[in-house]
Structure 1
Amino acid sequence: MKKLLLFLFVFSITFCINPEENNAAENLQATIDSLEEGAVLKLEDKTYEGNLVINKELTLIGKANTVIKGDGTGNVISIQAPNVTLRKLTVTNSGMDRNSAEEYAGIKIHTNGNVVEHVKIADSFHGIYLSQAHENTINHVEIKGMGKGEIAPQGNGIHVYYANHNLFTHNTIEGTRDGMFFDYANNNESYENNISDTRYGLHYMYSDENIFKSNTFTMNTGGAAVMNSNRLLLEDNHFIVNYGNQSFGLLLLQANDNQIKNNTFYMNQRGIYIDQATRNTIQGNKISQNQIGIELWASSNEQVFTGNLITENTIPAVTIGGTGETNFWSHEGKGNDWGNSFPLTDLNQNGIGDFPITYRSSLYQLIEDQELSYLFLKSPALAIYEKMNAVLVDEKVMFNDPHPLAAAKGNHNLILFALLGVAAILILLKGRHLLCITFGRNGRKI
């Protein structure tokens, strides 16, 4: 009996000295409310009930099987104090009412300086929603949506609303409406995120001066849609196998002064689609094996295309709605490498073709007018159509590259094999035994 009393006395002393480092009580909200500012709360390998409101600075650390499960009516975790850290949790079951005045999320952040890392989110309307929240860090988060068949009833993986100077790294998002949606959100940075099976992998609306670098988009309807957003840097990203109705690797719509550099556009319906956009620089990109490499509407002016590898596309580039003569296909004497599509000579071995490349085509009218034209882009009938129109009608100039680049020997095959390898690995990892490609209309309304 004495030994038992001594044990209980020692245990109670230990618990009282460090209460914030002991396991949470059954009522997690009550435990959070009882903690002091800056406390560290360690959770067990079990499921805790949401919905939680965190209104003080603290660190919440889970284990491999720690789950915070909401009641299905609101946000599972609402962060309403700055400098909160969430780590090693699974968050599920937010409210799914798309008509609610508040857009619910697995984790909703209203404050600054928070960190969310190594967290998994499922069965939630939005995965993470930042609302007027700045200087937060979201990294190594896995967000699982309901898949493309259920896009309408759900929200976005990461939704950034009037939120600036946030950092997003190494996150994986699959099957949500849009992967990452930025709305009036400036000066955010996103690195090495992987987004698949969404409507738009990346969606910018009225968001300026963001950096999006070394991210991968695969099997989305649209890789990245940049709308009404200016002075962005999109660099070293991979846009691979993005197909579907009105699909593209990258869309620039009413987007100005953006830098699109050193990206890979491979096996998309349209590699880059540009409409009503001005002064964008497209430089050093690899645009290969797409239905259309570059689709450029004449409403877009002063684009600069330089140093790109544009090869093995069904149609290398097409200008629709006019001649597009105010766009530039070379810069400072450096044009683009068109691969085997346009053989050229380089007698003085300076890396620049001896003659300009001018591409003429009548396909622009077919693509602009016919809803089903994308169904036939790989058909042998397409070549016959082009040859007939070359004789019967006056073809229009799609582009003129005054300084085309001479192909570096052996480089194209290596690049092609590398891209094929990446695409094959991505498809295998996602367990796709059959890739169904759906072609859609090139609508002006995105």
Structure 2
Amino acid sequence: MERIIKNTLLERRITIHFTNLKYTFIRKSPFICIAFAAILINLSWDLTEVDADEGSIPSLQEIVDRAKPGESIVLSDAEFSGPILINKKLTIQALEGVSLINESLEPAITIQAEGVTVQGIRVLQKQSGEESTAVSVQANGVVLRNLKITTRGYGILLRDSVDGVLEDNLISWDSSQGPSTLGEKGNGIDLFNSSDTRIENNRIVNMRDGIYLDNSKDLNIFKNKILGSRYGIHCMYNDGTKIIGNIGEYNVTGAMIMGVRDVVVSDNSFVKQRNNVNSQGILLYDVQRSIVEKNDIEGNRVGIYLERSSQNELRNNSIYRNFVGIQFVNAEKNFIHDNDFVANVIEAEAMDSESNQIEQNFWDTAQVLDMNNDGNSDIQYSINPFYRNLISETPAFQLFFQSPGISFLSGMYEQDNQHSWTTDSSPRLKLNQPVLTSNSIVEDKPLPDKVFLMIVSSMLLLISILTILYSRGQKT
């Protein structure tokens, strides 16, 4: 059974003119006059009732309460007030122009019944607070689809809920009351103890964490786009989770993966996480037996960061234009192969991480020689830490990246302690695959950023030499 609700306001205008009333009519028809006066009094009372209700917003809760379990409710072209509680199985579908406005600290929508579907509503959660949220789900098999949520707290909370589906939703922070810090915001989607949930094709903007996943398993996080958050995807203690096809841009960290086993991070794009000293494309902390593959990681401060992680496989990733391509800290027994490292300022850093297997990656700065034509160099590539150590002591030397003077000093440094450097045993001669990015990096074309940096560095070095020579000439 389908119930269609349409919100209209009845406009009634009654104009009564008293003209040319004669005393004789009143005198001769007293009962008619009394009856007429009573009608006027009654109409006046009715009109007062209508005027008082004209400015109010109807409650969606009343419609929910009247519906029977299993019913479908279709809302069209209306504005409703919240909060609402759904404690029976219903399908609520909103057509274009339906809004739910909640002025209380309670969730705008609370779902406590299995199998509920809510889709198409624009939800405005007006109040801020630690527990303020737009939608709270506390039941299994709930579907939230095509919601447009603007919130001063959290977007969607799932607690002790399994088999849920969250797809095609837009969640954004309400900035109408001025700028806010990350600490004041809630997460876009916040999930706890809610396994077997699918989160797909959502867009999340300017929240604390875009998607926060905690203490669950077998989650599917597909094709979401997260912008301007702390962690785009924050995955903690979730075994068997798949994070595939997502896009993260301008977050502090694209994906923060912590305390997990058997996770797949594949075919994602994490770009321009670089506005914080702790920014990374992908951060792996205490991660075991997981796969990180086919990701585009470009323009971040650190491309991939591994700490206290082991027995993971990193393969076929495109790691472009990051300040540090890959960084290891207390990370052991990981297998890193067939990745492309291109135009990173520092290709790799390793601290207390000497037992990782690194082979057949493409390094754009490697000197290679292939005697048997197998596509891999017969010369191992040892990543020189000279530049990293130099700029850690004097950051201003970053201006001379790949200048002739730095290259000369780096070559002298190779004579000492080379056995302790991070090494690729057989680097590849060619890119794994041409990668087109916003700046059109392809295999057979020069790299604009790299060439630009070399030109600027050379010019600065030349100016410095000319200045010194000119100063000495003036003294003589």
TM-score scaled by length of structure 1: 0.81
**SS of residue in 2 equivalent to 1:74:** coil
- TM-superposed CA distance for 1:229, in Å, is 1.7
Indicate whether 1:349 and 2:332 are aligned. no
Q: Quick one: which of 141, 146, 169 aligns to 1:113?
A: 141
How far apart are the structure 1 equivalents of 2:99 and 2:5?
17
Counterpart contact for 2:73–2:92, Cα < 8 Å: yes
Tell me, in whole angstroms, the C-alpha distance in 2 between the residues paired with 1:337 and 1:421. Answer: 18
- Give 1:85 deviation, angstroms: 0.7
Which of 121, 125, 131 is equivalent to 2:159?
131
Equivalent residue for 2:170? 142
Residues 387/206 of structure 1: CA separation in 2 closer, same or farther (3 Å cut)? farther
The 1:95–1:185 alpha-carbon spacing in structure 2 relative to 1, beyond 3 Å, is: farther
Q: Is the 8 A contact 1:202 1:224 kept in 2?
A: yes
Structure 1 counterpart of 2:429: 406
- Whole-angstrom distance in 2 between the partners of 1:386 and 1:134: 57
Residue number among 362, 385, 389 corresponding to 2:386 in the alignment: 362
CA pair 223-176 structure 1, distance change in 2 beyond 3 A: same
For these two proteins, the number of residue pairs brought into alignment is: 386
Greater C-alpha radius of gyration: 2
Matches within 5 A, 1:142-221: 142-146=170-174, 149-221=180-252
* 2:358 is aligned with 1:329: yes
Secondary structure in 2 matching 1:243: coil
1:46 to 78, 81, 103: 78
| 1:91–1:120 CA contact under 8 A, matched in 2 | yes
**Which letter maps to 2:379?**
F
**Conserved? CA contact 1:362–1:389, under 8 Å:** yes
Q: Which of 64, 81, 84 in structure 1 is aligned with 2:113?
A: 81
Local SS of the residue matching 1:341: coil
CA contact (8 A) 1:113 1:137 kept: yes
Report 1:65-104 matches (<5 A): 65-93=97-125, 95-98=127-130, 103-104=131-132
- What corresponds to 1:13 in structure 2? none
Name the SS of the counterpart of 2:235 in structure 1.
Answer: strand
CA contact (8 A) 1:361 1:386 kept: no
- Is the 2:384–2:410 Cα contact (8 Å) retained in structure 1? no
Change in CA separation of 1:319 and 1:384 when aligned onto 2, cut-off 3 Å: farther
Query: Given that residues 222 and 249 in structure 1 are in contact (C-alpha distance below 8 angstroms), is that contact kept between their aligned partners in structure 2?
Result: yes
Correspondence for 1:5: none
SS at match of 2:439: helix
Residue 284 of structure 1, CA deviation: 0.6
Once the 2 structures are TM-superposed, how far is the Cα of residue 336 of structure 1 from its aligned partner?
0.8
Deviation at 1:300, TM superposition (A): 1.0
Given residue 3 of structure 2, which amino acid in structure 1 is its aligned partner?
Answer: E
Stretch deviating more after TM superposition (116-125 or 145-154)? 145-154
Q: Distance in 2 between matches of 1:45 and 1:207?
A: 41
Match of 2:300 among 268, 271, 289: 268
Partner Cα distance (2:397, 2:229) in 1: 26
Name 1:280's counterpart in structure 2: 312
Mapped to 2, the partners of 1:302 and 1:387 lie a distance apart of: 34
Offset of 1:288 from its aligned partner? 0.9
Alpha carbons 1:362, 1:395 under 8 Å: kept = no
Correspondence for 1:64:
96
Matched residues in 2 for 1:350 and 1:389: separation?
A: 30
Structure 1 residue 354 displacement after superposition: 2.1
The 10-residue stretch of structure 1 (64-73 or 395-404) with the greater mean CA deviation from structure 2: 395-404
Give yes or no for contact 1:24–1:31 (8 Å, CA) kept in 2: no
CA displacement 1:332-390 (0-9 Å, x = unmatched): xxx2111x3113122332112122212222355567x66x84x7545449875675476
SS in 1 for 2:64: helix
2:2–2:74 CA contact under 8 A, matched in 1: no
Contact conserved, 1:114 with 1:137, CA < 8 A, in 2? yes
Q: CA offsets, 1:403-430, max 9 Å, x none?
A: 211215xx77x52x434259xxxxxxxx
Amino acid at match of 1:137: V
1:301-320 matched pairs, under 5 angstroms = 301-320=332-351
Q: Is the 8 A contact 1:376 1:382 kept in 2?
A: no
Letter in 2 for 1:326: S
In 2 relative to 1, CA 421–359 (structure 1 residues): closer, same or farther, beyond 3 Å? closer
CA RMSD of aligned residues (A): 2.4
Q: CA deviation at 1:402?
A: 1.2
Task: Give the structure 1 partner of residue 255 of structure 2.
Answer: 224
C-alpha contact (below 8 Å) 2:400/2:406 kept by paired residues? no
